[in-house]
Amino acid sequence: MAQFEQLPRLVDDDVDLVRRGAWVDLQFQVGLGAVPYHLTVARGRITSLDRGPILMRCSRFQVSATAEGWRRFWHPVPEPGWHDLLALTKRGAARIDGDLQPLLANLQYFKDVLAAPRRLASEAR
């Protein structure tokens, strides 16, 4: 999932996305299959992305999905049912846990952050 590790650059390159997340300051976790990633967001920018289980690392919420779920979600134009973070949870390919208040208060920001690797697939064409 090397494309996911480019997330800090992808977010920084999107001025509108950073502006929308200007009030977001937190840590959260993303699970790509069995691999956890810990992300720190400060004023809409991803300031750190650390791979692997890190003991005692706190996070406000966790978004995890199967490797297949992320692969299909990151298609340049995903199929219906694979196009949206909440659609992935509905189909059972993803799970969201923890304090959902910051996620739901900034839902479009987080949806766009997690969908940012789609741009890599589009650029490769």
2-6: which pairs have CB atoms within 8 A and are 24 or more residues apart?
A: 3/74, 3/117, 3/120, 3/121, 4/30, 4/32, 4/37, 4/70, 4/117, 5/49, 5/51, 6/117, 6/120
Q: What is the pLDDT of residue 121?
A: 72
Give tens-digit pLDDT for 36-65. 999 999 999 999 999 988 877 899 999 999
Place of tokens 């949870």: 89
- What helix, strand, coil percent values describe the chain, rounded to 5? 40, 25, 35
Determine the topology of domain 4-124 in CATH. Answer: Nonspecific Lipid-transfer Protein; Chain A (3.30.1050)
Residue 107: partners with Cβ closer than 8 Å, 6 or more residues away: none
Q: What is the pLDDT of residue 57?
A: 85
pTM beyond cutoff 0.85? yes
Q: Using the predicted structure, report yes or no on whether residue 125 has a pLDDT greater than 90.
A: no
Give tens-digit pLDDT for 92-122. 999 999 999 999 999 999 999 999 999 987 6
Give tens-digit pLDDT for 8-26. 999 999 999 999 999 999 9
Q: What is the pLDDT of residue 85?
A: 95
